[in-house]
Amino acid sequence: MLVTWVSLVSATTTSPQLARALGWTLRPLLSWGVPVGAVTTTVSIALRFIPEVIEEFDRIRLAQIARGARFDDRRVSRRLRSYAAVLVPLVASLFGRSDQLAEAMRDRGFTGGGTLMSPPRLEARDLMVMLTSVAVPVLVVLM
């Protein structure tokens, strides 16, 4: 049931929408000093990297199979040893990626404060740009 719910939510909701909903849900914790912006940023980054972790795991597992690792052995100890041969390089790779991400965030001035993103509000100039971007192509086609 939980897997079905998670699959449904992840198929119908983008990461920014999930982060915004989480920030809104956790907003009351701001009064207790919980860094809600940092929590939502962390969750967004974690969600973003799930597919990459799965892809990296598969890549390393296939490399280990090419080197003779057996993941289908009946003995649990041998299977665990084979998966340990995957998990060690996976963790090392994830630490490398997290270090790169930390450097990139630092270089871009991220301080960890985070903000609760509110939905953008349309202003008059936004409506003018939208109307112009629709009207110009229509006029070009009609002329």
pLDDT, tens digit, 9 for 90 and up, residues 59-91: 998 988 888 877 777 888 877 888 888 888 999
pLDDT of residue 92: 92
What share of the chain in percent tops pLDDT 70?
A: 87
Q: If you average pLDDT over residues 11-17, what whole number do you get?
A: 77
Across 3-28, average pLDDT: 77
pLDDT at 116 over 50: no
Residue 117 has pLDDT above 60, yes or no: no
| Arithmetic mean of pLDDT, 92-111 | 86
Query: What is the pLDDT at residue 59?
Result: 92
Q: Which residues of 9-37 are buried (b: 16+ CB within 10 A; e: fewer)?
A: eeeeeeeeebbbebbeebeeeeeeeeebb
Which pLDDT belongs to residue 120? 60
Structure tokens at 81: 């040893």
Predicted model pTM: 0.59
To which residue do tokens 């982060």 refer?
A: 19
The closest alpha carbon to 43, from 19, 78, 76, belongs to 19
pLDDT digits (tens, 9 = 90+) for 40-49: 888 888 878 8
